[in-house]
Amino acid sequence: MPIVLVILAVAFLVLFYLLVRGSSPSLGKMLVFLLLLVVGAALAYLFLINVLRVDPNPYRLKIANYLTKNKLIDLTQIVPGLNNLNDIYRADTDGDAADKVLEWLVFYRYDVTTTQDRVSGPFGAAIYDVNHCRPPAIPSYELAPVSYNYLGQDGAWPVVENAIPYPDPLSANLDRPEVFIAGVTRGAVTDLNIFRKVGTEPDCLQCRTGSPSTRASLPYGDWMRYANIGSFRGNYAVRRNGSTIVVVDRAGFERSQFTVETSYRPQDGSYFKAGTQTLRDPVEYGLAFGPGEPDQVSPVLLSGEGGVGFLQGPDQKCDD
């Protein structure tokens, strides 16, 4: 974005020079003047956002609600803790491309604390989806991890991808995509939760005539939900390569640069053991450098069945 600011600033100066050069007005100068206004407005807008850190979202909402006479559905007025339009994503989270309706995936904060105009608090998320009833309703589905109660401490973002081919028998053998939620702590992705929509949508008669307990659990909790099929946390980082999840932890009693990498892969559409909330056994363990490999790697004394030997660094040699 700073490059864009520099380009706009140069363009503004060039247009201003072309405008003031000479004295006679002309059609060309009128066009230059109009371009100067457009470039100046864009430059001022980006300067306010990127340099002065002015949040444009409240003004966008006010303009949108004013133009539509408050007839738009404004999720910031519905979801507590949703204060930023950048925390609303549109995505096909259930793989139902036939209805051509994208779902709303919304992040919100709770247990909010404000210190020196800085808002902090853990992130939760929910998905809002239009059903096919008459009139249509917008059921909501909470994205709730099974092992703890938040998705990210300092930030979170989603990736929707069919990374785990799995015709789910609980969903009429539909192979729905997964919703990967990455959670950020102090600038690093330390949490990764994976969700998939499970169940089949009830017809509208079921919604109206279901048992009182069913109606009390609406929206659709007894029929459909987004199941947490994997929940990972690393005290250093969490990475993903396709369906393989790598949890990176600082080694317990090793030097600070060392990390332990543990890799997991799904089975039968889930990273959990069947009927439990326990992760399946990892497929691989590894030792790696965390912040970076030192310039000088000291030799390490090893012992084993073959006797005693040394593990050398890349530039070290041992005499016979």
Domain residue ranges of the chain, discontinuous segments joined by +:
2-50, 57-303
End-to-end CA distance of the chain: 58
pLDDT value for 99: 66
pLDDT value for 208: 61
Whether this model's pTM surpasses 0.85: no
Evaluated on CA atoms 240, 241, 247, 249, the torsion sign reads: negative
pLDDT value for 317: 47
pLDDT value for 275: 87
With 0-12 / 13-18 / 19 or more C-beta atoms within 10 angstroms meaning exposed / middle / buried, residue 60 is: exposed
**What is the signed CA dihedral for 97, 100, 81, 159, rounded to 10 degrees?**
30
Q: How many Cα neighbours within 13 Å face the side chain of 184?
A: 10
Q: Which residues pair with 260 in a beta bridge?
A: 249, 287
Q: Which of 281, 279, 261, 257 is nearest to 270 (CA)?
A: 279
Split the chain (320 residues) into runs of 10 and give each run's mean pLDDT: 74 74 70 82 80 77 82 86 87 81 91 73 91 82 88 93 94 94 93 94 67 48 87 94 94 73 95 93 89 66 48 46
By three-state DSSP, how is residue 45 classified? helix
**Radius of gyration (C-alpha) of the chain in whole angstroms:** 27
Q: Which residues contact 308 (CB under 8 A, 6 or more apart)?
A: 301, 302
* Angle, vertex CA 16, rays to CA 13 and CA 22, nearest 5: 135
